[in-house]
Amino acid sequence: METIEEVLVTLRRLIRATDLHSKQLVKTAGITAPQLLLLRAIHDQGEVTIGEIANEVSLSQATVTSILDRLEKRELVYRVRSNQDKRKVHAYLTEAGLELLREAPLPLQEHFIRQFRDLKDWEQMMILSSLQRVVHMMDAQHLDAAPMLEVGDIDSYNATYKQVSSTSSTADKKS
């Protein structure tokens, strides 16, 4: 196999691994990686505003609000307007949200982060440099991205869930 083919296969493996992990997360925990990321941020920060969550997870406030809407409908979080500053809204986990968070698998990036931190500094910089070069080669340097390994629309729980459900149903029928 030529080097370029090896690179393309490697990129495809990264995309597939991310996609498969995302589908497995939805199937086992019933939430998407961005939803899990928000639940973890709320848990880790305690009383937290929507803006603080957005900064923590590198997403826009509008995206965070949309994800929180879905989590609130599922009674995993609730929001309360601040008594001191009525412009601020704080997000909190419900008992169901805490339970889901305890039982949910680690996001894919957590596995990556653990192994990446074990590398020597020069190895980390080599990987970063190579990936930045690949991003540039794909003309993707201007795309907005959060520090999470997730494919598809960050804001689309329903689309991801329907896709996983139909895939599972098809697989079940073949068995």
Please tell me the predicted confidence (pLDDT) of residue 110.
80
Quick one: pLDDT at residue 84? 83
In a domain? residue 173: no
Closest by Cα among 110, 108, 30, 33 to 76: 30
Of 94, 92, 105, 109, nearest to 29 (Cα)?
105
Q: List, for residues 17-64, the tens digit of each pLDDT value.
A: 888 888 888 888 888 888 998 999 999 988 889 899 988 888 888 989
The pLDDT of residue 42 is 93
Tell me whether residue 174 is in a domain.
Answer: no
pLDDT > 50? residue 157: no
User: Looking at the domain assignment, is residue 175 inside a domain?
Assistant: no
- Quick check: is 133 in a domain? yes
Residue 129 lies inside a defined structural domain of this protein: yes
Q: Report pLDDT for 134.
A: 92
Confidence of residue 151 (pLDDT cuts 50, 70, 90): low
Residue 30 forms part of a structural domain = yes
Element housing 80 (H / E) = strand 77-81
Q: Which domain range does residue 24 map to?
A: 3-168
Between the CA of residue 82 and those of 64, 85, 88, 89, 133, what are the distances in Å? 18, 5, 5, 6, 44
99-140 per-position pLDDT tens digit:
999 988 877 778 888 999 999 999 999 999 999 999 999 998
CATH code of the domain covering residue 58: 1.10.10.10
> Looking at this protein, which amino acid is placed at residue 20?
L
pLDDT band at 82 (very low <50, low <70, confident <90, very high): confident
The count of domains in the chain is 1
Q: Is residue 134 part of a domain?
A: yes
Q: Is residue 148 part of a domain?
A: yes
